[in-house]
Amino acid sequence: MSVRWLVADTWTLTLRAFSHWARQPFVLAVGVLFPVLVLLMFAYLLRGGYGDDYPSILVPGLLALTCVFGLETTMTAVVTDASRGITARFRSLPMSGAAVVGGRAVADLVNSLAGLAVLMACGWAIGWRIESGPADALAAVGLLMLLRFSLIWMGIYLGLVAGRPEAVASVQILVWPLGFLSNAFTDPDSMPAWLAAIAEWNPLSATAAAARELFGNPGWGGDSWAATHAVELALAWPILICAVFLPLAVAKYRSRA
């Protein structure tokens, strides 16, 4: 199967995802606006004792959380296709097998990029600013997309393993503790020590802290290894996740029951 067909089939399936958004703009809007809702809730209702800096700390955290939410988006799409028999039909076609996962990956990255752009615009409106140069800012966006990219493969794998729409709901529930047990909303130093350790080593925290650093936003500080090496961890975690789940996802797709 040539590279040409891999590219052509990936593009065909990316266009399919775009057609979905065009036909269901409401679904797209809810997905994009949900993180905005969370942002406004925390910035205005739950800011607690944090001062005027809070939006600047919160926005990068929520950008990273949005990438983690993307796991559900990928999983839902994969489960829907598998349960309707569409995946089986794809596999019976003389098309590039890798394109099925490739098309999913490209579509989800585009979707996430749109989500991040909207969230950044809303963050801007409530006082968040990029306080570094364009190169650093781009690097921050790059790290966010890298986290999202790694979770695409986890989503494809979990979607293919689960196969049933009900399974997505359990992942949706599990994403929340992962989101709160991090530095996205609160300073890990305010947590009991053992929770703080988990929160600091959470991949979400690494990407959030690295984004704060690269956007030139204030962070929580902290002097643990994880807190002082956020960028390194924000690279290492997604690479590790890819190393585990990319081969698993491709093998699971290719495996003939």
Partner 1 sequence: MAYGEKMAIVAEGLRKSYGETEALAGLSLEVPRGAVYGLLGPNGAGKTTTVGVLTTLVRPDGGRAVVAGCDVAADPGGVRARIGLVGQHAALDEVLTGRQNLVLFGRLQHLGVARARARAQELLKRFGLEDAADRPAGGYSGGMRRRLDLAAGLIRSPEVLFLDEPTTGLDPRSRSEVWDSVRELAADGVTVLLTTQYLEEADRLADRIAVVDGGRVVAEGTPAELKDALAGDWIEVVLRERDDVATAVALLGRVSGAEPEVDEAGLRVSAPVRDRMGALAAVVGELDAEDVALRRPTLDEVFLELTR
Q: How far apart are CA 119 and CA 251, in angstroms?
A: 35
| 252 binds partner 1, rule: CB under 8 A | no
For the bound state, the minimum distance from the C-beta of residue 257 to partner 1, rounded and expressed in Å, comes to 5
| 92 binds partner 1, rule: CB under 8 A | yes
DSSP state of 218: -
Q: Which one, 6 or 231, has the nearer CB to partner 1?
A: 6
- Of residues 95 through 134, those in contact with partner 1 by CB under 8 A are 95
Q: Which one, 100 or 209, has the nearer CB to partner 1?
A: 100
One-letter amino acid for residue 215 of the chain: F
DSSP 161-188: HH-SHHHHHHHHHHHHHHHHSSTTTS-G
Q: Which one, 91 or 129, has the nearer CB to partner 1?
A: 91
Choices 79-87, 126-134, 199-207, 217-225; region in contact with partner 1 by CB under 8 A: 79-87
Q: Is residue 173 classed exposed, middle or buried when 0-12, 13-18 and 19+ CB atoms within 10 A define those classes?
A: exposed
| 26 binds partner 1, rule: CB under 8 A | no
| 24 binds partner 1, rule: CB under 8 A | yes
DSSP 128-159: ----S-HHHHHHHHHHHHHHHHHHHHHHHHHH
Total interface residues for partner 1 by CB under 8 A: 24
Query: Cβ contacts of residue 71 below 8 Å, gap of 6+?
Result: 151, 154, 155, 158, 171, 175
Contact 119, 61 (CB under 8 A): no
| 16 binds partner 1, rule: CB under 8 A | yes
- Of residues 163 through 202, those in contact with partner 1 by CB under 8 A are none
User: Which residues contact partner 1 (rule: CB under 8 A)?
Assistant: 1, 5, 8-9, 12-13, 16, 19-20, 23-24, 84-86, 88-95, 256-257
